Amino acid sequence: MNFKKSGLMKRQFVIVVAILLSITMCENWGWQDVESDQESMLNIFALVSLDTTISSFVHVRQTLNLDDEEMILVDRDTLWYGDSPYDYVFEDSYRSNFLVDSAVVTISDGNKVVRFFPVRTEENYGYIGINEFVFQKKMSVVYLDTLHQFNPVPGTIYFLEVTAPDGRRVTGSLVTPAIPVLLDESIPDTLHLQKSYTIPFEPLPDNYQILRTITNNYTGENKVFIEPGSASWKSFPEDASSFDDDDFDCDMEIRLTAMDDNYYEYFVKKPLDDEFVSFLLGDANSGLSCGIEGGYGLFGAIAVDHVYRIAVR
């Protein structure tokens, strides 16, 4: 898999990640599952990505006590749209109290230290209040390598350090996984979904993998976990009743993801319904720390290979 990418494409994807996270990150992350007051703890979700289509990123949140507000009003502005004294709406800006938006975040290989800077985003929406219409802005942040200096490689130890403005500190470490390799030339150009087919790949002796087949129609996604040392996966024929049309074909992405030990422990040994979506949304295995010391959360790594095929009935 080619790990060289143009600077333009990397910058474009950073923007895409920031937009995605601004949409999905603004609500309660599910971390305030406490029954009594306790000391606020940092919650870290950090991903080292060896995939050229996914940027490495870090989220920094914190637990709240029972009487803490989840959202804080930081600004209210009046927007006028006419000459009448009633031609106005309010615009409120909120920030999540779970958010830690001014931390110092670094990832290093023991020699080179790379700073991840906060990228702030906003989600806008409106609601009707008492005799008024109110626009709301919800602010969020994701820490990114905005200078494009972090280029992780497989089989390497990386160290995470997060220091909050109040001095709270979290550290972490991981070993990046090997690069998964789908044997492209051995996978047929067209896959028949009502017949069994085999997807071969190079075995990884030390890393678990996730194999996904993703179609662009309602049949959706199939996901299986691959044990270390496995060299192929064989599909089960799909039931013909799952298709409406006699003639059916669609694009299929075959995606193979290798994961480090922290990622495996967090999402496979203690599974969530969809580990990558859960990672983006910040859903937590309550109180679990994998690769993290001094707080909760996950410091994990992935590497990805993917090919595209035509799937037919």
Give DSSP secondary structure letters for 110-163. SS-EEEEEEEEEEEEEEEEETTEEEEEEEEEEEEE-TT------TT-EEEEEEE
Bridge-based pairing of strands 157-163 and 104-108 is antiparallel
* Structure confidence by residue, pLDDT tens digits, 169-183: 999 999 999 999 999
Nearest to 76 by CA among 61, 58, 88: 88
Q: In DSSP terms, which residues pair with 301 in a beta bridge?
A: 48
- Calculate what percentage of the chain has a pLDDT beyond 70: 63
Q: Does residue 52 or residue 206 have the better pLDDT?
A: 206
84 pLDDT above the threshold of 60: yes
CA 154 to chain centre: 19
For residue 227, give the nearest of 196, 254, 258 by alpha carbon: 258
- Which residues, in sequence order, are bridge partners of residue 159? 108, 173
The winner for highest mean pLDDT among 121-130, 266-275, 289-298 is: 289-298
Secondary structure class of 59 (helix, strand, coil):
strand
> Which of the residue ranges 31-40, 72-81, 163-172, 229-238 would you say has the lowest mean pLDDT?
31-40
Q: Is residue 111 scored above 50 in pLDDT?
A: yes
83-104: b (≥16 Cβ within 10 Å) or e: eeeeeeeebbbbbbbbbbeebb
Name the residue with higher pLDDT: 138 or 30.
138
pLDDT value at position 170? 97
Q: Which residue has the higher pLDDT, 247 or 273?
A: 247
pTM of the model: 0.75
Q: What is the mean pLDDT of residues 275-285?
A: 46
pLDDT at 268 (0 to 100)? 80
